[in-house]
Copies of this chain bind each other. A is one copy, B any other.
Amino acid sequence: MREAVTLNDVAREAGVSPSTVSRVINGTARVNARKREAVLKAIERLNYRPNLMAKGLAQGRSLTVGVVTQEISSPYYGEMLKGVEQALEQTPYHPIFASGHWRADQEEAALKVLVDRQVDALIVMDGSVPEERLLELSQQMPVVVVGREIAGLNCLSIDNFQGAHQAIRHLIELGHRRIAHIAGPKSHPDAVERLKGYKAALAEAGLPYDPSLVVEGDYLEPSGLLAVEALLARGALFTAIFAANDQMAYGASVALYRRGIRIPHDVSLVGFDDLPSSNYFSPPLTSVRQPGQEMGWEAARWVLAMLKGQSYTPRPLSTRLVVRESTGFLRSPGSRLMHQTS
């Protein structure tokens, strides 16, 4: 394992002081053109690469941005992380990720890891860290929260109510009257909002709210499958399903497939998030698009601005219903499913 070449080596090689080398590298002060040349040559010759840890220590910053997600492998967070990565690509900053695994204690542990690693700023995605904790952290460094709204903090989130509302409107316009909902966990504010949007859209259309058509899932595929089975088991009558996220919609579609219930022929299905894979689902899934990548990007731009002491107004993030092939007109008042289960 070779010895690393340091700034001192460069200084010696170029016949100048370390300070001068530092100045050339960072452009922090004018340096005589000849010396600058000498330094650059020496850097080239020795193939010098600055030690970012030393630099960080000296400057009191690490040039890293901490990102807390729930699960790094989740397609939903994947999109956001990609956005963050992209926004940071051309800057001196680099993201460093830690996952909360959907558990408050692990999330706190993730925060600790990042803080200990001296991240210069923090992006927190969803989760259930107490608000006070985040407020406390925001005293120490720039913090941007994605997917939650916390007074006194810079937050970035979409209108979940509106998104759900759009989805239900779409189904109603297609003629559906009995629309089941696979909700997200009650502990997630976004899930609650989506449920509200569902109810509101029904109410506006003069449709009754039937609690037996709502099942709570946990945002993962298996729970979508289970939800549909529960619905079917209790003999619920429905011609469409609105799942609070795409992953649960995937699960739901399998349950329907198993029963020989065809999408959208017998039942229409709408998801939320519009994951990249939803476009390639079969049938391609109608879903409420949530601009994950853009959210990550905006969050990163925001903390960058805060780090520079600038203000930043994130572009408004809006949801958009992407209609694909998993939704269709209600076939007939007494569709197959209605008969089958009644």
A contact residues vs B (CB 8 Å cutoff): 1-2, 49-54, 56-57, 62, 71-75, 78-79, 81-82, 85, 94-99, 112-113, 115-118, 139-141, 221, 224-225, 247, 250-251, 253-254, 256-257, 263, 276-277, 279-284, 293, 325
Closest to A106 in B: B89
Q: Tell me, in angstroms, the Cα distance from A270 to B263 when the chains sit together.
A: 22
Residues of chain B within 8 A (CB-CB) of A2 are: 139-140
Q: Are B280 and A225 in contact (CB under 8 A)?
A: yes
Query: Do A53 and B49 contact each other (CB < 8 Å), given the known contacts A78-B74, A277-B250?
Result: no
Q: Tell me, in angstroms, the Cα distance from A131 to B52 when the chains sit together.
A: 26
Q: Tell me, in angstroms, the Cα distance from A56 to B56 when the chains sit together.
A: 11
Residues of chain B within 8 A (CB-CB) of A283 are: 257
Closest to A263 in B: B282
How many copies of this chain? 2
Q: Tell me, in angstroms, the Cα distance from A280 to B49 when the chains sit together.
A: 47
Q: Tell me, in angstroms, the Cα distance from A44 to B137 when the chains sit together.
A: 19
Q: Are B73 and A118 in contact (CB under 8 A)?
A: no
Q: Tell me, in angstroms, the Cα distance from A149 to B89 when the chains sit together.
A: 30
A-B contact pairs, 28 of them (CB 8 A): A52-B117, A52-B118, A53-B56, A53-B57, A53-B62, A53-B117, A53-B118, A72-B81, A72-B82, A73-B82, A73-B276, A73-B293, A74-B78, A75-B78, A94-B96, A94-B98, A221-B277, A221-B279, A225-B280, A250-B277, A250-B280, A250-B281, A250-B282, A253-B280, A254-B280, A254-B284, A256-B282, A257-B282
Question: Which of these, B75, B85, B141, contacts A99 with CB under 8 Å?
Answer: B85
Q: Tell me, in angstroms, the Cα distance from A139 to B73 when the chains sit together.
A: 31
Residues of chain B within 8 A (CB-CB) of A1 are: 139-141
User: Which applies to chain A's interface (DSSP): helix, strand, loop or mixed?
Assistant: helix
| A50, A277, A282, most chain B CB atoms within 10 A | A282
Q: Tell me, in angstroms, the Cα distance from A99 to B86 when the chains sit together.
A: 10
Q: Tell me, in angstroms, the Cα distance from A123 to B62 when the chains sit together.
A: 22
Q: Are B75 and A71 in contact (CB under 8 A)?
A: no
Q: Are A221 and B280 in contact (CB under 8 A)?
A: yes
Residues of chain B within 8 A (CB-CB) of A282 are: 250, 253-254, 256-257, 263, 281-282
Residues of chain B within 8 A (CB-CB) of A284 are: 254, 257
Q: Are A116 and B50 in contact (CB under 8 A)?
A: yes
20 additional A-B pairs beyond A75-B78, A94-B113, beta carbons within 8 Å, are A2-B139, A49-B112, A49-B115, A50-B116, A53-B56, A53-B118, A72-B82, A72-B85, A73-B81, A85-B99, A94-B96, A94-B98, A221-B276, A221-B279, A250-B280, A251-B280, A254-B280, A257-B284, A257-B325, A263-B282
